Amino acid sequence: MFGIQNRRDLTMELQSQIPILRPSIHARRANIVVKFQDMYGFTVEGNVDDVNVLNEVRERVRNQGRVWWALEASKGANWYLRSSDTLSIGDGGIALKTSLKISALANAITLKRLVRKGIPPVLRPKVWFSVSGAAKKKSTVPESYYSDLTKAVDGMVTPATLQIDHDLPRTFPGHPWLDTPEGHAALRRVLVGYSFRDSDVGYCQGLNYVAALLLLVMKTEEDAFWMLAVLLENVLVRDCYTTNLSGCHVEQRVFKDLLAQKCPRIASHLDDMGFDVSLVATEWFLCLFSKSLPSETTLRVWDVLFYEGAKVLFHAALAIFKMKENELLMTHQVGDVINIIHTTSHQLFDPDELLTVAFEKIGSMTTNTISKQRKKQEPAVMAELDQRLRRLNSLKETGKNT
């Protein structure tokens, strides 16, 4: 599905996607707010310092691209997909098998380091589709699955399709492609198609932003659909987007516990103030930072998300708090905390700044550790949701009898 291109052509394509931003001389002389488009077409507001940061980031992206091309040259195309399970082993015996396992392990270590430093934009669709498991998931169904699905559900009306239609014009308004009839139609087909694929999820607000960003990266509707499928079915907590959002409630409780462990001074100060972290973190976990971080920073988080799993969401969320620890400890009002977090996240134009804190200052968090935290929180969340449902049903009955 991905055409074979000359490496030189790919390099030129990458460079063409990453223009150098040059503010006017008037903007350079005065520290005023300037508007410009990032590489995915989003309008960004910032000062000249922000423009300079973005230019530095784009130069690092170019350099990182050269590293990937060099590895493709030395290890071969798609080297990151190789493992001892996929490579054929003949009669060479144990030595060859051991050698292949060591090679696969070396590739995995190299890939983890590379992914954390960022996947070049031109390679991102291909790498995501492979390492996330989307390609494998797609291979289990007929080739015409997505086309057949979209045709079969065309014209059907459900509560999910009505909500999707309501949300389309509110999804990244002003974007030069997403906010057009063509963009709306493509996003609608992906979201409606998935709502019929998984009726337990159907559609949840927040998925529109996730699917929209997937469309921009993956280029095709079908690939965006399968990325959404693997994300909801394999990468994230299963119940994050179901009707009662039980999975999302669990994630909020886990995040609060992790904040107390990793940033105890911040957690204690916020508790004393009566600040609930879900006021800012709910949107992060539902929209996967797509509404909160600049697009290029969001996609760097997603690079790791699709390779290492959902633990990176906790790393990134904790890092945002950690980066502003001193300022947060000086706050006395809930509104001040929200303003600091909101401003910080929206101005994180340098992905490396966020990810360095996320992985080097927050410390290690294994998927197994987070899974144990989730299991610990699930009973309390389910009890709380059950109590809420009983209360609602009681109010309904009282209303009928009056």
Q: Per residue in 322-370, pLDDT tens?
A: 999 999 999 999 999 999 999 999 999 999 999 999 999 998 898 899 9
pLDDT at 263 over 90: yes
User: What pTM was computed for the model?
Assistant: 0.86
Helix (H) or strand (E) run with residue 37 in it: strand 34-37
Distance between CA 364 and CA 315 in Å, rounded? 9
Specify the DSSP class assigned to residue 85: T
Residue 390 has pLDDT above 90, yes or no: no
pLDDT value, residue 145: 98
Q: Express each pLDDT in 286-301 by its tens digit.
A: 999 999 999 999 999 9
CA dihedral in degrees (14, 18, 19, 24; nearest 10)?
-170
Q: DSSP letter string over 306-352?
A: HHH-THHHHHHHHHHHHHTHHHHHT--SHHHHHHHHHHHHHT---HH
Residue 254 confidence (pLDDT) above 80: yes
| Per-residue pLDDT, 19 | 54
**Winning range, highest mean pLDDT, from 51-55, 153-157, 398-402:** 153-157
Residue 78 banded pLDDT, cuts 50, 70, 90: confident
Give the H or E element holding residue 34: strand 34-37
CA separation for the pair 196, 148 (Å, rounded): 12
Residue pLDDT, tens place only, 88-141 = 333 444 443 444 465 677 778 889 999 999 999 999 999 999 999 999 999 999
Which residue type is seen at 86? T
> Could you give the percent of the chain with pLDDT greater than 90?
64
Report the distance separating Cα 80 and Cα 16, nearest Å: 25
